């Protein structure tokens, strides 16, 4: 079972992905977390990614595609995974589709967390005060929202053709949204 959680910055992909991964006993693969770990560790990949990340731009596919391939190839992800934050571009979507198809698998569900921009901004502003993520500055947040609309939102139409996109109202308590997701995927 491969489930993609799609949504704008701050829509709750990480929060709901964690709950879902624990419930289904599947690994959660989060490209943002992998990048943050690489940046903290000062690896060459982390250093390359940092200038894009800090400005709220997408890290180029030349860096991300290899990362996705490695993560999907991990033995833990053999029978399924929760994908948080990727695919985010057409090239990434193509890689995921092809990699899964080669194994006789496919994306089973796409959960689209639907949250108003006002609420996204409220959440990211409050996280900026608590955690200080480098891309939660007002400038980077504005760029992340634009990039989501331009590069990632078009993937919704790509997947909608297959009838696997479920729109999840992403405003409400964390438990309410988790309950709705459980109802949608039936487990
Ligand atoms: P990434 O780390 O994926 O960040 P994002 O997409 O901007 O989203 P966030 O992680 O900020 O939000 P979320 O949707 O996970 O929500 P969360 O649960 O945290 O990517 C960061 C950057 O890395 C990108 O800009 C790019 O540079 C790079 N990158 C990553 N993947 C890439 C890729 N595939 N290709 C290229 N570049 C890539 O919730 C947000 C906040 O709200 C939290 O504080 C949470 O506690 C709170 N919250 C959650 N749910 C609720 C609720 N129901 N009510 C109230 N508050 C809530
Ligand atoms: Mg996240």
For 83-133, write each residue's pLDDT tens digit: 999 999 999 999 999 999 999 999 999 999 999 999 999 999 999 999 989
Ligand 1, residue 88: give the atom nearest the CA. Answer: 34
pLDDT in tens, 25-74: 999 999 999 999 999 999 999 999 999 999 999 999 999 999 999 999 99
**What's residue 64's pLDDT?**
98
**What's residue 94's pLDDT?**
97
pLDDT band at 185 (very low <50, low <70, confident <90, very high): very high
Q: Give pTM, 2 decimals.
A: 0.97
Ligand 1, residue 113: give the atom nearest the CA. Answer: 14
pLDDT in tens, 120-176: 999 999 999 999 899 999 999 999 999 999 999 999 999 999 999 999 999 999 999
Ligand 1, residue 35: give the atom nearest the CA. Answer: 23
Residue 174 in contact with ligand 1 by CB distance below 6 A: yes
Residue owning the nearest CA to atom 19 of ligand 1 = 14
Residue 12 in contact with ligand 1 by CB distance below 6 A: yes
- Span from the CA of 158 to the centroid of ligand 1 (angstroms): 22
CA distance 102 to 105: 7
**What's residue 173's pLDDT?**
98
- Span from the CA of 113 to the centroid of ligand 2 (angstroms): 12
C-beta of residue 165 within 8 angstroms of C-beta of residue 156: yes
Residue owning the nearest CA to atom 46 of ligand 1 = 15
**What's residue 59's pLDDT?**
98
Sheet holding 165-169: strands in order across? Answer: 28-30, 81-84, 2-7, 107-114, 165-169
Among the bound ligands, the one closest to the CA of 18: 1
Ligand 1, residue 85: give the atom nearest the CA. Answer: 3
Provide φ and ψ at 81, rounded to 5°: -165, 160
Residue 67 in contact with ligand 1 by CB distance below 6 A: no
**What's residue 140's pLDDT?**
98
E runs forming strands in 23-129: 28-30, 81-84, 107-114
Residue 7 in contact with ligand 1 by CB distance below 6 A: yes
């Amino acid at each position: 079972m491969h489930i993609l959680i799609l949504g704008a910055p701050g829509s709750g992909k990480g929060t709901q992905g964690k709950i879902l991964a624990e419930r289904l006993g599947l690994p959660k693969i989060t490209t943002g977390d992998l990048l943050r770990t690489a940046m903290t560790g000062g690896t060459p990949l982390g250093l390359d990614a940092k200038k894009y990340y800090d400005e709220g731009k997408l890290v180029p596919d030349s860096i991300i595609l290899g990362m996705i391939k490695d993560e999907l190839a991990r033995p833990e992800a053999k029978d399924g995974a929760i994908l948080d934050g990727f695919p985010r571009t057409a090239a990434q979507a193509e890689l995921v589709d092809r990699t899964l198809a080669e194994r006789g698998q496919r994306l089973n569900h796409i959960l689209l967390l639907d949250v108003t921009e006002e609420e996204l901004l409220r959440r990211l502003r409050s996280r900026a005060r608590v955690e200080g993520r480098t891309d939660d500055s007002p400038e980077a947040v504005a760029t992340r929202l634009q990039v989501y609309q331009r590069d990632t939102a078009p993937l919704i139409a790509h997947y909608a053709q297959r009838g696997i996109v479920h729109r999840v109202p992403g405003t409400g308590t964390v438990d309410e949204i988790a309950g709705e997701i459980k109802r949608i995927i039936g487990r």
